[in-house]
Each structure stands twice: as C-alpha cells, then as structure tokens.
Amino acid sequence: MKSRIGKFYISQVLIREEIEEVAKVLSILKFVPLRIEYLYNDTVEMVGHSHMFKELEDELSIVEYSLIITKKENGEIEVRV
C-alpha cells in the first residue's frame, strides 16, 4: 500500500485567532492526524494523512509540505500543497 503521509507546521497564534479557518483548511485537506506536537517556537507540527499528499512507496517516509492558503473574495478557501 502506498503512503500519503506528510507533515506541515501551523502557527499557534493562527490556531488561536482563526480556528474556524484552520478547521476549513484541515477539512479541505481531508487531513487525518497521526501526531500533533506543540513546538517551543509557538508552532504546531502536524503529521498525518491527506489525499493531497504525494503517494510514496515507503510507508515510513514523511514528506514536509508547505501549505499555500488563499482566501478568495467570496470567502472560499483554496489550499495547495
């Protein structure tokens, strides 16, 4: 089975101030968390599965992604990895 495991980072400030937006982003990613860790620099590391992550042959590989989040004028959110 191919793995779609990846990790990305979110600012704790963003989570505190824009929790609804963060929830929408995670929903768009269909993100299933496997590990969430609060880091010393006020950042949260999120490791999990998403259909938007690359398929990898090695189930133990974890690719680090940058999320590009765009909020459109109509309020819709677009997420690219």
pLDDT exceeds cutoff 70 at 19? yes
Q: What is the C-alpha end-to-end distance of the chain, expressed in Å? A: 22
Residue 9 or residue 61, greater confidence: 9
pLDDT exceeds cutoff 70 at 76? yes
Cα separation of 49 and 17, whole Å? 25
Per-residue model confidence (pLDDT) at position 1: 56
Reference 39, options 12, 71, 66; nearest CA is 12
The first and second tokens of residue 45, run together, are 């590391």
CA 68 from chain centre, in angstroms, equals 10
Give this prediction's pTM: 0.85
Per-residue model confidence (pLDDT) at position 47: 96
Q: Give 34-75 pLDDT, tens digit per residue.
A: 999 999 899 999 999 999 999 988 777 789 999 999 888 888
Cα separation of 13 and 42, whole Å? 7
pLDDT exceeds cutoff 80 at 80? yes
